[in-house]
Amino acid sequence: MDNSKRRAKLLLEAELAAIGERLQAEARVPSASLAGGDFLDLAQGLEQQELARLSASRLSERAKRLQIALSRVSDGEYGICAECGASIASARLGAIPDVTTCVACQERLERAAH
């Protein structure tokens, strides 16, 4: 494994660990209590729960992408476009460590999605 891959692996693992911690913190958000609290408290509690749930699902999406990137590192496919097989610019990988496509393929995929 060359240095840039080793660095990418460390970066991905660090971000994955940070997300794991955040997910655990989100899971500790107290649930809205139906007993005692007035309506406003209840509404705020529900809103917080909703926000926590939303950000938790975003975080687990991100964790999934990081795990995919990590498995690509160990398969020796990291930095290679999953679509066309071209190597992904290192600046792009530096900016988005879990990216799996080159700029051209990303743009093509985004156009196709719209």
Residue pointed to by tokens 């290192």: 90
The stretch near Zn ion (CB under 5 A) out of 19-27, 33-41, 65-73, 99-107 is: 99-107
Nearest distance from C-beta of residue 103 to Zn ion, angstroms: 8
The stretch near Zn ion (CB under 5 A) out of 42-50, 52-60, 65-73, 96-104 is: 96-104
SS3 sequence of the chain: CCHHHHHHHHHHHHHHHHHHHHHHHHHCCCCCCCCCCCHHHHHHHHHHHHHHHHHHHHHHHHHHHHHHHHHHHHCCCCCECCCCCCECCHHHHHHCCCCCCCHHHHHHHHHHHC
Our finding on whether 83 is near Zn ion (CB under 5 A) is: yes
Nearest distance from C-beta of residue 85 to Zn ion, angstroms: 7
Our finding on whether 84 is near Zn ion (CB under 5 A) is: yes
Nearest distance from C-beta of residue 112 to Zn ion, angstroms: 13
Distance (Å, rounded) from C-alpha 47 to C-alpha 87?
44
The stretch near Zn ion (CB under 5 A) out of 6-14, 41-49, 53-61, 101-109 is: 101-109
Q: Which residues bind Zn ion (CB under 5 A)?
A: 81, 83-84, 86, 102, 105
